[in-house]
A and B are shown apart, each in its own frame.
Chain A
Amino acid sequence: MILDVKDIEVYYNNVILAIEDINISIEQGQIVSLLGANGAGKSTCLKAISGLLEVEKGRVTRGEIYFEGKRVDQLGAIERVKSGICLVAEGRQLLKTLTVEENLKVGSLIRKDSASVIKDDLERMYTYFPILKQRAKQVSETLSGGEQQMLVIARTIMMRPKLLLLDEPSLGLAPLIAAAVISEIHRINQELGTTILLVEQNAALALPISNKAYIITNGRVALCSTPEEMKKIDLRDYYLGRKRAAI
Protein backbone atom coordinates (compact mmCIF):
# COMPACT_ATOMS: atom_id res chain seq x y z
CA MET A 1 0.00 0.00 0.00
CA ILE A 2 1.51 3.32 -1.06
CA LEU A 3 -1.07 5.50 0.68
CA ASP A 4 -3.16 4.74 3.72
CA VAL A 5 -5.47 7.41 5.10
CA LYS A 6 -6.88 6.30 8.44
CA ASP A 7 -9.95 7.82 10.08
CA ILE A 8 -9.06 11.43 9.43
CA GLU A 9 -11.06 14.39 10.61
CA VAL A 10 -10.35 17.87 9.24
CA TYR A 11 -11.28 21.29 10.52
CA TYR A 12 -10.79 24.68 8.90
CA ASN A 13 -10.16 27.63 11.23
CA ASN A 14 -10.77 25.23 14.14
CA VAL A 15 -14.53 25.56 13.66
CA ILE A 16 -15.57 24.35 10.22
CA LEU A 17 -15.75 20.58 10.12
CA ALA A 18 -14.96 19.64 6.51
CA ILE A 19 -14.14 15.94 6.90
CA GLU A 20 -15.71 13.83 9.62
CA ASP A 21 -14.18 10.46 9.01
CA ILE A 22 -12.42 9.30 5.88
CA ASN A 23 -10.43 6.16 5.11
CA ILE A 24 -8.69 5.73 1.79
CA SER A 25 -6.11 3.21 0.69
CA ILE A 26 -4.25 3.00 -2.58
CA GLU A 27 -1.97 0.30 -3.96
CA GLN A 28 1.20 1.15 -5.85
CA GLY A 29 0.48 1.91 -9.52
CA GLN A 30 -3.28 2.24 -9.15
CA ILE A 31 -5.66 4.96 -10.18
CA VAL A 32 -8.21 5.61 -7.45
CA SER A 33 -11.11 8.05 -7.84
CA LEU A 34 -12.89 10.17 -5.29
CA LEU A 35 -16.39 11.06 -6.40
CA GLY A 36 -19.03 13.14 -4.70
CA ALA A 37 -21.17 16.24 -4.73
CA ASN A 38 -20.04 19.83 -4.23
CA GLY A 39 -18.78 20.47 -0.74
CA ALA A 40 -18.50 16.77 0.09
CA GLY A 41 -14.88 17.17 1.17
CA LYS A 42 -12.97 15.78 -1.82
CA SER A 43 -10.59 18.70 -2.25
CA THR A 44 -10.08 18.88 1.49
CA CYS A 45 -9.04 15.26 1.41
CA LEU A 46 -6.33 15.96 -1.20
CA LYS A 47 -5.16 18.99 0.78
CA ALA A 48 -4.90 16.86 3.90
CA ILE A 49 -2.77 14.29 2.08
CA SER A 50 -0.52 16.87 0.43
CA GLY A 51 -0.14 19.04 3.53
CA LEU A 52 -1.48 22.10 1.74
CA LEU A 53 -4.18 22.46 4.36
CA GLU A 54 -1.66 24.52 6.28
CA VAL A 55 -1.91 27.43 3.84
CA GLU A 56 -5.69 27.53 4.28
CA LYS A 57 -5.74 27.36 8.06
CA GLY A 58 -6.98 23.79 7.95
CA ARG A 59 -5.84 20.98 10.25
CA VAL A 60 -6.11 17.22 10.50
CA THR A 61 -7.51 16.90 14.00
CA ARG A 62 -7.82 13.12 14.17
CA GLY A 63 -6.49 10.08 12.37
CA GLU A 64 -3.27 9.32 10.53
CA ILE A 65 -1.90 9.39 7.01
CA TYR A 66 0.77 6.91 5.94
CA PHE A 67 2.76 7.23 2.74
CA GLU A 68 5.05 4.34 1.80
CA GLY A 69 4.63 3.05 5.33
CA LYS A 70 5.78 6.29 6.97
CA ARG A 71 3.51 8.63 8.84
CA VAL A 72 3.32 11.95 6.99
CA ASP A 73 0.44 13.90 8.49
CA GLN A 74 2.81 15.75 10.81
CA LEU A 75 5.14 16.80 7.99
CA GLY A 76 5.09 20.18 6.27
CA ALA A 77 3.81 20.50 2.71
CA ILE A 78 7.25 20.96 1.18
CA GLU A 79 8.65 17.88 2.93
CA ARG A 80 5.78 15.85 1.53
CA VAL A 81 6.40 17.22 -1.96
CA LYS A 82 10.02 16.16 -1.62
CA SER A 83 8.98 12.68 -0.54
CA GLY A 84 6.94 12.37 -3.74
CA ILE A 85 3.38 13.49 -2.98
CA CYS A 86 2.45 16.10 -5.56
CA LEU A 87 -0.85 17.93 -5.92
CA VAL A 88 -2.50 19.48 -8.94
CA ALA A 89 -4.79 21.78 -6.99
CA GLU A 90 -8.20 23.00 -8.04
CA GLY A 91 -8.32 26.25 -9.96
CA ARG A 92 -5.32 25.68 -12.28
CA GLN A 93 -2.55 27.16 -10.21
CA LEU A 94 -0.39 28.50 -13.01
CA LEU A 95 2.69 30.60 -12.67
CA LYS A 96 0.94 32.97 -15.00
CA THR A 97 3.78 35.40 -15.69
CA LEU A 98 6.14 32.58 -16.66
CA THR A 99 6.20 30.96 -20.08
CA VAL A 100 4.89 27.47 -20.65
CA GLU A 101 8.39 26.06 -20.79
CA GLU A 102 9.43 27.93 -17.66
CA ASN A 103 6.43 26.50 -15.82
CA LEU A 104 7.56 23.02 -16.80
CA LYS A 105 11.13 23.78 -15.73
CA VAL A 106 9.99 24.97 -12.32
CA GLY A 107 8.40 21.54 -11.93
CA SER A 108 11.75 19.87 -12.46
CA LEU A 109 13.60 22.03 -9.92
CA ILE A 110 13.14 19.61 -7.02
CA ARG A 111 14.78 16.77 -8.94
CA LYS A 112 18.42 15.85 -8.71
CA ASP A 113 18.52 14.30 -12.18
CA SER A 114 20.95 15.55 -14.78
CA ALA A 115 19.98 18.27 -17.23
CA SER A 116 19.77 15.77 -20.09
CA VAL A 117 17.33 13.50 -18.24
CA ILE A 118 15.18 16.51 -17.51
CA LYS A 119 15.37 17.63 -21.12
CA ASP A 120 14.13 14.18 -22.18
CA ASP A 121 11.27 14.47 -19.73
CA LEU A 122 10.37 17.88 -21.10
CA GLU A 123 10.15 16.35 -24.58
CA ARG A 124 8.04 13.55 -23.14
CA MET A 125 5.56 16.10 -21.78
CA TYR A 126 5.36 17.59 -25.23
CA THR A 127 4.44 14.18 -26.65
CA TYR A 128 1.70 13.81 -24.05
CA PHE A 129 0.42 17.32 -24.68
CA PRO A 130 1.64 18.43 -28.14
CA ILE A 131 -0.18 21.75 -27.92
CA LEU A 132 2.18 22.78 -25.11
CA LYS A 133 5.12 22.48 -27.46
CA GLN A 134 3.52 24.95 -29.85
CA ARG A 135 2.92 27.28 -26.93
CA ALA A 136 6.31 26.72 -25.27
CA LYS A 137 7.52 30.33 -25.42
CA GLN A 138 4.15 31.86 -24.68
CA VAL A 139 3.35 33.40 -21.32
CA SER A 140 1.12 30.84 -19.64
CA GLU A 141 -1.58 33.36 -18.75
CA THR A 142 -2.49 33.50 -22.44
CA LEU A 143 -3.36 29.80 -22.67
CA SER A 144 -6.92 28.54 -23.02
CA GLY A 145 -8.50 26.78 -20.05
CA GLY A 146 -7.81 23.32 -21.44
CA GLU A 147 -4.21 24.18 -22.25
CA GLN A 148 -3.75 25.57 -18.76
CA GLN A 149 -5.04 22.35 -17.27
CA MET A 150 -2.65 20.34 -19.43
CA LEU A 151 0.19 22.59 -18.37
CA VAL A 152 -0.39 22.20 -14.63
CA ILE A 153 -0.63 18.44 -15.04
CA ALA A 154 2.52 18.29 -17.17
CA ARG A 155 4.33 20.58 -14.73
CA THR A 156 3.47 18.25 -11.86
CA ILE A 157 4.59 15.20 -13.84
CA MET A 158 7.91 17.00 -14.35
CA MET A 159 8.33 16.60 -10.59
CA ARG A 160 8.17 12.83 -11.10
CA PRO A 161 5.72 12.25 -8.25
CA LYS A 162 5.28 8.84 -6.67
CA LEU A 163 1.72 9.79 -5.82
CA LEU A 164 -0.11 12.26 -8.02
CA LEU A 165 -3.16 13.98 -6.53
CA LEU A 166 -5.43 15.47 -9.19
CA ASP A 167 -8.27 17.79 -8.28
CA GLU A 168 -11.00 17.89 -10.94
CA PRO A 169 -8.82 17.99 -14.05
CA SER A 170 -11.90 18.05 -16.29
CA LEU A 171 -13.58 21.01 -14.61
CA GLY A 172 -14.71 23.63 -17.10
CA LEU A 173 -13.35 21.82 -20.13
CA ALA A 174 -15.28 21.02 -23.31
CA PRO A 175 -16.28 17.31 -23.31
CA LEU A 176 -13.77 16.34 -25.99
CA ILE A 177 -10.91 18.14 -24.28
CA ALA A 178 -11.90 16.66 -20.91
CA ALA A 179 -11.85 13.16 -22.42
CA ALA A 180 -8.44 13.84 -23.97
CA VAL A 181 -7.01 15.04 -20.66
CA ILE A 182 -8.37 11.98 -18.85
CA SER A 183 -6.90 9.65 -21.44
CA GLU A 184 -3.46 11.32 -21.08
CA ILE A 185 -3.75 10.85 -17.32
CA HIS A 186 -4.36 7.17 -17.95
CA ARG A 187 -1.37 7.04 -20.28
CA ILE A 188 0.87 8.68 -17.67
CA ASN A 189 -0.22 6.06 -15.16
CA GLN A 190 0.48 3.25 -17.63
CA GLU A 191 3.78 4.48 -19.03
CA LEU A 192 5.39 6.03 -15.95
CA GLY A 193 3.72 3.85 -13.33
CA THR A 194 2.60 6.92 -11.38
CA THR A 195 0.05 6.17 -8.68
CA ILE A 196 -2.88 8.56 -9.00
CA LEU A 197 -5.63 9.75 -6.68
CA LEU A 198 -8.18 11.47 -8.89
CA VAL A 199 -10.97 13.73 -7.68
CA GLU A 200 -13.79 14.06 -10.21
CA GLN A 201 -17.39 15.18 -10.36
CA ASN A 202 -17.75 13.40 -13.65
CA ALA A 203 -18.01 9.72 -12.75
CA ALA A 204 -18.45 8.68 -16.38
CA LEU A 205 -14.99 10.04 -17.17
CA ALA A 206 -13.20 8.83 -14.08
CA LEU A 207 -14.57 5.33 -13.58
CA PRO A 208 -13.31 3.71 -16.81
CA ILE A 209 -9.67 4.44 -15.93
CA SER A 210 -9.95 3.69 -12.19
CA ASN A 211 -9.03 0.57 -10.26
CA LYS A 212 -11.18 1.62 -7.33
CA ALA A 213 -13.50 4.47 -6.45
CA TYR A 214 -14.81 6.12 -3.33
CA ILE A 215 -17.96 8.15 -3.02
CA ILE A 216 -17.73 10.89 -0.44
CA THR A 217 -20.81 12.51 1.08
CA ASN A 218 -20.75 15.07 3.87
CA GLY A 219 -17.16 14.36 4.83
CA ARG A 220 -17.57 10.59 5.02
CA VAL A 221 -16.94 7.65 2.73
CA ALA A 222 -20.40 6.58 1.60
CA LEU A 223 -19.23 3.83 -0.69
CA CYS A 224 -15.97 2.20 -1.73
CA SER A 225 -16.12 -0.19 -4.62
CA THR A 226 -14.80 -1.27 -7.99
CA PRO A 227 -15.81 0.75 -11.06
CA GLU A 228 -17.79 -2.22 -12.37
CA GLU A 229 -19.95 -2.30 -9.25
CA MET A 230 -20.34 1.47 -9.29
CA LYS A 231 -21.74 1.40 -12.79
CA LYS A 232 -24.61 -0.79 -11.62
CA ILE A 233 -25.87 1.58 -8.99
CA ASP A 234 -27.51 4.96 -9.22
CA LEU A 235 -24.84 7.40 -8.11
CA ARG A 236 -27.39 10.17 -7.95
CA ASP A 237 -28.61 8.71 -4.67
CA TYR A 238 -25.26 9.58 -3.17
CA TYR A 239 -24.80 12.90 -4.89
CA LEU A 240 -28.21 14.07 -3.78
CA GLY A 241 -27.77 12.70 -0.29
CA ARG A 242 -30.58 10.15 -0.55
CA LYS A 243 -28.16 7.51 0.72
CA ARG A 244 -25.70 8.17 3.51
CA ALA A 245 -22.68 6.37 4.82
CA ALA A 246 -23.44 2.66 4.87
CA ILE A 247 -22.15 2.11 8.37
Chain B
Amino acid sequence: MFIQALIAGIAVGSVYALIALGMVLIYKASSVINFSQGALVMIGAYITYAVVTGIPAPLWITIPIAIGLSALLGVVIERLIFRYMTGVDLIAVIMVTLGISFLLEGSTTAIWGTLNYSFPKILPEMSFSLGGIHISEVYIWSFIFSMVILIMFTLFFKYSKIGLRMRAVADNQKASISLGIHPGKMISLSWAISCVVATIGGVMLANIKLLNLGLSGIGILVFPVVILGGLDSIIGAVLGGFIIGILGSLSAVYAGGLMGGAVDQVVSFVILLIILLVKPYGLFGTKETLRL
Protein backbone atom coordinates (compact mmCIF):
# COMPACT_ATOMS: atom_id res chain seq x y z
CA MET B 1 0.00 0.00 0.00
CA PHE B 2 2.68 2.45 1.04
CA ILE B 3 4.95 1.52 -1.86
CA GLN B 4 2.15 1.81 -4.35
CA ALA B 5 1.10 5.20 -3.03
CA LEU B 6 4.70 6.33 -3.04
CA ILE B 7 5.23 5.26 -6.63
CA ALA B 8 1.99 6.86 -7.73
CA GLY B 9 3.12 10.01 -5.93
CA ILE B 10 6.49 10.02 -7.66
CA ALA B 11 4.86 9.50 -11.06
CA VAL B 12 2.24 12.19 -10.58
CA GLY B 13 4.88 14.40 -9.01
CA SER B 14 7.07 14.11 -12.08
CA VAL B 15 4.15 15.30 -14.18
CA TYR B 16 3.60 18.21 -11.79
CA ALA B 17 7.28 19.02 -12.12
CA LEU B 18 6.95 19.16 -15.89
CA ILE B 19 3.93 21.43 -15.79
CA ALA B 20 5.52 23.61 -13.11
CA LEU B 21 8.62 23.91 -15.29
CA GLY B 22 6.43 25.63 -17.87
CA MET B 23 5.28 28.20 -15.34
CA VAL B 24 8.81 28.83 -14.14
CA LEU B 25 10.09 29.35 -17.70
CA ILE B 26 7.52 32.02 -18.38
CA TYR B 27 8.09 33.66 -15.04
CA LYS B 28 11.85 33.76 -15.53
CA ALA B 29 11.61 35.11 -19.05
CA SER B 30 8.98 37.76 -18.48
CA SER B 31 7.94 37.93 -14.80
CA VAL B 32 4.45 36.77 -15.71
CA ILE B 33 2.83 34.42 -13.20
CA ASN B 34 0.80 32.29 -15.54
CA PHE B 35 -2.40 31.15 -13.86
CA SER B 36 -3.64 29.72 -17.14
CA GLN B 37 -1.13 26.88 -17.03
CA GLY B 38 -3.81 24.45 -15.87
CA ALA B 39 -6.09 25.41 -18.74
CA LEU B 40 -3.17 24.96 -21.12
CA VAL B 41 -2.67 21.47 -19.74
CA MET B 42 -6.32 20.73 -20.41
CA ILE B 43 -6.53 22.24 -23.87
CA GLY B 44 -3.25 20.54 -24.81
CA ALA B 45 -4.72 17.17 -23.90
CA TYR B 46 -7.90 17.91 -25.88
CA ILE B 47 -5.92 19.07 -28.91
CA THR B 48 -3.85 15.91 -28.79
CA TYR B 49 -6.99 13.82 -28.41
CA ALA B 50 -8.56 15.52 -31.42
CA VAL B 51 -5.47 15.12 -33.56
CA VAL B 52 -4.76 11.52 -32.58
CA THR B 53 -8.35 10.35 -33.05
CA GLY B 54 -9.15 12.66 -35.96
CA ILE B 55 -6.20 12.16 -38.27
CA PRO B 56 -5.85 8.66 -39.66
CA ALA B 57 -2.10 8.48 -39.30
CA PRO B 58 0.34 6.70 -37.02
CA LEU B 59 1.25 8.24 -33.67
CA TRP B 60 4.71 9.31 -34.76
CA ILE B 61 2.99 11.71 -37.14
CA THR B 62 0.01 12.80 -35.06
CA ILE B 63 1.84 13.42 -31.79
CA PRO B 64 4.35 15.85 -33.33
CA ILE B 65 1.42 17.66 -34.99
CA ALA B 66 -0.27 18.03 -31.62
CA ILE B 67 2.97 19.25 -30.06
CA GLY B 68 3.42 21.74 -32.89
CA LEU B 69 -0.11 23.07 -32.42
CA SER B 70 0.54 23.53 -28.71
CA ALA B 71 3.73 25.46 -29.41
CA LEU B 72 1.81 27.62 -31.85
CA LEU B 73 -0.86 28.32 -29.24
CA GLY B 74 1.86 29.53 -26.86
CA VAL B 75 3.36 31.84 -29.46
CA VAL B 76 -0.06 33.23 -30.35
CA ILE B 77 -0.88 33.97 -26.71
CA GLU B 78 2.41 35.77 -26.23
CA ARG B 79 2.30 37.72 -29.48
CA LEU B 80 -1.33 38.78 -29.20
CA ILE B 81 -1.52 39.51 -25.50
CA PHE B 82 1.61 39.57 -23.40
CA ARG B 83 3.76 41.39 -25.95
CA TYR B 84 1.60 44.41 -25.12
CA MET B 85 1.68 43.97 -21.38
CA THR B 86 5.24 44.87 -20.49
CA GLY B 87 5.48 47.21 -17.57
CA VAL B 88 1.89 46.50 -16.53
CA ASP B 89 1.09 45.76 -12.89
CA LEU B 90 1.59 42.16 -11.82
CA ILE B 91 -1.96 41.96 -10.56
CA ALA B 92 -3.33 43.03 -13.97
CA VAL B 93 -1.15 40.45 -15.68
CA ILE B 94 -2.46 37.74 -13.38
CA MET B 95 -6.03 38.78 -14.14
CA VAL B 96 -5.28 38.45 -17.83
CA THR B 97 -3.88 34.95 -17.37
CA LEU B 98 -7.04 34.04 -15.44
CA GLY B 99 -9.05 35.47 -18.31
CA ILE B 100 -7.17 33.28 -20.76
CA SER B 101 -7.93 30.37 -18.50
CA PHE B 102 -11.70 31.02 -18.65
CA LEU B 103 -11.50 31.57 -22.38
CA LEU B 104 -9.77 28.24 -22.95
CA GLU B 105 -12.14 26.36 -20.65
CA GLY B 106 -15.14 27.97 -22.32
CA SER B 107 -13.90 27.11 -25.79
CA THR B 108 -13.20 23.55 -24.75
CA THR B 109 -16.71 23.17 -23.37
CA ALA B 110 -18.13 24.64 -26.55
CA ILE B 111 -16.19 22.27 -28.78
CA TRP B 112 -16.05 19.05 -26.81
CA GLY B 113 -18.82 19.42 -24.25
CA THR B 114 -18.56 18.26 -20.69
CA LEU B 115 -18.27 14.53 -21.38
CA ASN B 116 -15.48 12.29 -20.16
CA TYR B 117 -13.31 10.90 -22.91
CA SER B 118 -11.01 8.02 -22.43
CA PHE B 119 -7.71 8.71 -24.03
CA PRO B 120 -6.58 6.31 -26.76
CA LYS B 121 -3.70 4.15 -25.59
CA ILE B 122 -0.64 5.92 -26.83
CA LEU B 123 1.86 4.44 -24.43
CA PRO B 124 3.24 0.97 -25.19
CA GLU B 125 2.09 -1.85 -22.93
CA MET B 126 4.45 -2.59 -20.14
CA SER B 127 3.93 -4.74 -17.13
CA PHE B 128 5.89 -4.04 -14.01
CA SER B 129 5.82 -5.32 -10.53
CA LEU B 130 7.96 -4.59 -7.55
CA GLY B 131 8.18 -7.12 -4.75
CA GLY B 132 4.93 -8.68 -5.85
CA ILE B 133 3.11 -5.37 -6.04
CA HIS B 134 1.75 -4.52 -9.45
CA ILE B 135 2.49 -1.03 -10.64
CA SER B 136 0.32 0.59 -13.23
CA GLU B 137 2.26 1.17 -16.43
CA VAL B 138 1.02 4.72 -16.98
CA TYR B 139 2.87 5.67 -13.82
CA ILE B 140 6.09 4.21 -15.08
CA TRP B 141 5.74 5.87 -18.46
CA SER B 142 4.84 9.22 -16.96
CA PHE B 143 7.88 9.07 -14.78
CA ILE B 144 10.19 8.05 -17.60
CA PHE B 145 8.83 10.68 -19.98
CA SER B 146 8.95 13.45 -17.45
CA MET B 147 12.48 12.62 -16.45
CA VAL B 148 13.68 12.42 -20.04
CA ILE B 149 12.09 15.76 -20.84
CA LEU B 150 13.44 17.41 -17.70
CA ILE B 151 16.93 16.15 -18.47
CA MET B 152 16.62 17.33 -22.07
CA PHE B 153 15.70 20.78 -20.86
CA THR B 154 18.58 20.88 -18.45
CA LEU B 155 20.98 20.07 -21.27
CA PHE B 156 19.22 22.48 -23.60
CA PHE B 157 19.66 25.38 -21.21
CA LYS B 158 23.21 24.49 -20.35
CA TYR B 159 24.64 23.79 -23.78
CA SER B 160 22.49 25.04 -26.64
CA LYS B 161 22.83 28.50 -28.12
CA ILE B 162 19.13 29.15 -27.91
CA GLY B 163 19.03 27.94 -24.32
CA LEU B 164 21.83 30.35 -23.50
CA ARG B 165 19.93 33.18 -25.17
CA MET B 166 16.82 32.35 -23.18
CA ARG B 167 18.78 32.41 -19.95
CA ALA B 168 20.34 35.72 -20.94
CA VAL B 169 16.92 37.28 -21.46
CA ALA B 170 15.62 35.81 -18.21
CA ASP B 171 18.62 37.31 -16.45
CA ASN B 172 18.82 40.83 -17.88
CA GLN B 173 16.79 42.09 -20.82
CA LYS B 174 18.73 45.29 -21.31
CA ALA B 175 22.04 43.48 -21.38
CA SER B 176 20.53 40.95 -23.78
CA ILE B 177 19.55 43.67 -26.24
CA SER B 178 23.05 45.10 -26.14
CA LEU B 179 24.30 41.57 -26.90
CA GLY B 180 22.06 41.38 -29.97
CA ILE B 181 19.40 39.09 -28.50
CA HIS B 182 15.70 39.87 -29.09
CA PRO B 183 13.92 39.50 -25.73
CA GLY B 184 10.53 39.23 -27.47
CA LYS B 185 11.59 36.21 -29.50
CA MET B 186 12.92 34.42 -26.44
CA ILE B 187 9.76 35.16 -24.45
CA SER B 188 7.65 33.78 -27.29
CA LEU B 189 9.79 30.69 -27.23
CA SER B 190 9.26 30.34 -23.47
CA TRP B 191 5.51 30.37 -24.05
CA ALA B 192 5.85 27.80 -26.80
CA ILE B 193 7.91 25.49 -24.61
CA SER B 194 5.59 26.05 -21.68
CA CYS B 195 2.57 25.05 -23.75
CA VAL B 196 4.38 22.01 -25.06
CA VAL B 197 5.26 20.73 -21.59
CA ALA B 198 1.71 21.52 -20.48
CA THR B 199 0.39 19.40 -23.34
CA ILE B 200 2.71 16.52 -22.56
CA GLY B 201 1.70 16.73 -18.91
CA GLY B 202 -1.96 16.87 -19.91
CA VAL B 203 -1.68 13.80 -22.11
CA MET B 204 -0.03 11.85 -19.31
CA LEU B 205 -2.62 12.92 -16.78
CA ALA B 206 -5.40 12.07 -19.23
CA ASN B 207 -3.81 8.65 -19.53
CA ILE B 208 -3.65 8.25 -15.78
CA LYS B 209 -7.16 9.59 -15.22
CA LEU B 210 -9.72 10.57 -17.81
CA LEU B 211 -9.86 13.37 -20.34
CA ASN B 212 -12.34 15.96 -19.11
CA LEU B 213 -12.61 19.60 -18.12
CA GLY B 214 -11.39 18.72 -14.64
CA LEU B 215 -7.86 18.52 -16.02
CA SER B 216 -7.49 22.27 -15.76
CA GLY B 217 -7.76 21.88 -12.00
CA ILE B 218 -4.15 20.75 -12.17
CA GLY B 219 -3.27 24.44 -12.30
CA ILE B 220 -4.45 24.77 -8.72
CA LEU B 221 -2.23 21.85 -7.70
CA VAL B 222 0.78 23.02 -9.62
CA PHE B 223 0.67 26.48 -8.15
CA PRO B 224 1.82 25.26 -4.71
CA VAL B 225 4.52 23.30 -6.52
CA VAL B 226 5.87 26.43 -8.12
CA ILE B 227 5.62 28.50 -4.97
CA LEU B 228 7.19 25.72 -2.97
CA GLY B 229 10.17 25.54 -5.29
CA GLY B 230 10.47 29.28 -5.78
CA LEU B 231 8.91 30.90 -8.83
CA ASP B 232 12.22 31.42 -10.56
CA SER B 233 13.91 28.12 -9.86
CA ILE B 234 13.79 25.20 -12.28
CA ILE B 235 15.32 22.78 -9.79
CA GLY B 236 12.80 24.08 -7.28
CA ALA B 237 9.94 23.28 -9.66
CA VAL B 238 11.19 19.73 -10.11
CA LEU B 239 11.70 19.03 -6.42
CA GLY B 240 8.48 20.85 -5.55
CA GLY B 241 6.64 18.63 -8.03
CA PHE B 242 7.91 15.48 -6.36
CA ILE B 243 7.24 16.71 -2.85
CA ILE B 244 3.66 17.75 -3.55
CA GLY B 245 3.04 14.64 -5.65
CA ILE B 246 4.26 12.25 -2.98
CA LEU B 247 2.65 14.01 -0.03
CA GLY B 248 -0.63 14.31 -1.93
CA SER B 249 -0.63 10.66 -2.85
CA LEU B 250 0.29 9.42 0.63
CA SER B 251 -2.26 11.63 2.32
CA ALA B 252 -4.97 10.49 -0.09
CA VAL B 253 -4.28 6.92 1.00
CA TYR B 254 -3.81 7.45 4.71
CA ALA B 255 -6.04 10.41 5.44
CA GLY B 256 -8.52 10.10 2.59
CA GLY B 257 -10.80 7.92 4.69
CA LEU B 258 -10.96 10.46 7.48
CA MET B 259 -11.91 13.44 5.41
CA GLY B 260 -13.44 12.11 2.25
CA GLY B 261 -11.93 12.83 -1.18
CA ALA B 262 -9.74 15.68 -2.35
CA VAL B 263 -7.56 15.52 0.73
CA ASP B 264 -4.49 15.61 -1.51
CA GLN B 265 -5.42 19.10 -2.65
CA VAL B 266 -5.93 20.27 0.90
CA VAL B 267 -2.51 18.93 1.80
CA SER B 268 -0.92 20.85 -1.08
CA PHE B 269 -2.32 24.10 0.18
CA VAL B 270 -1.50 23.47 3.79
CA ILE B 271 2.09 22.92 2.69
CA LEU B 272 1.90 26.06 0.59
CA LEU B 273 0.75 28.09 3.57
CA ILE B 274 3.47 26.78 5.81
CA ILE B 275 6.15 27.38 3.19
CA LEU B 276 5.04 30.93 2.57
CA LEU B 277 5.11 31.62 6.30
CA VAL B 278 8.59 30.22 6.74
CA LYS B 279 10.23 30.99 3.41
CA PRO B 280 8.38 33.67 1.46
CA TYR B 281 10.52 33.17 -1.66
CA GLY B 282 10.01 29.42 -1.76
CA LEU B 283 12.66 26.82 -1.06
CA PHE B 284 14.94 27.80 -3.94
CA GLY B 285 13.60 31.13 -5.09
CA THR B 286 15.81 34.17 -5.09
CA LYS B 287 13.57 37.07 -5.86
CA GLU B 288 10.84 38.67 -3.94
CA THR B 289 8.07 37.33 -6.08
CA LEU B 290 4.71 37.72 -4.48
CA ARG B 291 3.23 40.73 -2.87
CA LEU B 292 -0.39 40.37 -3.75
- What is the interface of chain A, defined by CB distance below 8 A to chain B? 50, 52, 55, 77-78, 81-82, 86-87, 89, 93-98, 102, 105-107, 109-110, 155, 159
Contacts and interface: CB of A to CB of B under 8 A. Distances in A.
A224 B286 CA distance: 47
Given A97-B171, A98-B168, A102-B164, A109 B181 contact: yes
Nearest to B164: A106
Contacts of A52: 174, 177-178
A78 B178 CA distance: 7
B114 interface: no
Nearest to A55: B174
A94 B170 CA distance: 12
B180 to A, nearest CB: 4
Contacts of A50: 178
Contacts of A95: 167-168, 171-172, 175-176
B161 interface: yes
> Contact size class for B?
10 to 19
B161 A89 contact: no
Question: In terms of DSSP, what is the predominant structure of the interface of chain B?
Answer: helix
A110 B179 contact: yes
In this complex, which of B167, B168, B182 has the most chain A Cβ atoms within 10 angstroms of its Cβ?
A: B168
Contact of B165 (A77, A82, A106, A159): A106
A8 to B, nearest CB: 20
A105 B175 contact: no
A170 to B, nearest CB: 20
B178 A109 contact: no
A137 B174 CA distance: 23
Given A55-B174, A93-B174, A98 B167 contact: yes
Contacts of A98: 164, 167-168, 171
Contacts of A109: 161, 164-165, 179-181
B178 to A, nearest CB: 5
In this complex, which of A77, A87, A94, A109 has the most chain B Cβ atoms within 10 angstroms of its Cβ?
A: A109
B164 A77 contact: no
22 contacts: A55-B177, A77-B177, A77-B178, A78-B181, A78-B182, A87-B178, A93-B172, A93-B174, A94-B172, A94-B175, A95-B167, A95-B171, A95-B175, A96-B171, A96-B172, A97-B171, A98-B164, A107-B179, A109-B161, A109-B164, A109-B180, A155-B179
Nearest to A88: B178
Sort A-B residue pairs by CB-CB distance and give the 8 closest, nearest first: A93-B175, A110-B180, A81-B180, A95-B171, A97-B171, A106-B168, A87-B178, A77-B177
Contacts of B167: 95, 97-98, 102
A97 B230 CA distance: 15
B179 A159 contact: yes
Interface string B171-196: 11111111111100000000000000
A139 B249 CA distance: 37
Nearest to B169: A95
Contacts of B170: 97
Contacts of A159: 179-180
In this complex, which of B168, B171, B173, B179 has the most chain A Cβ atoms within 10 angstroms of its Cβ?
A: B179
Contacts of A89: 174-175, 178
Contacts of A94: 172, 175
B178 A81 contact: yes
Nearest to B158: A102
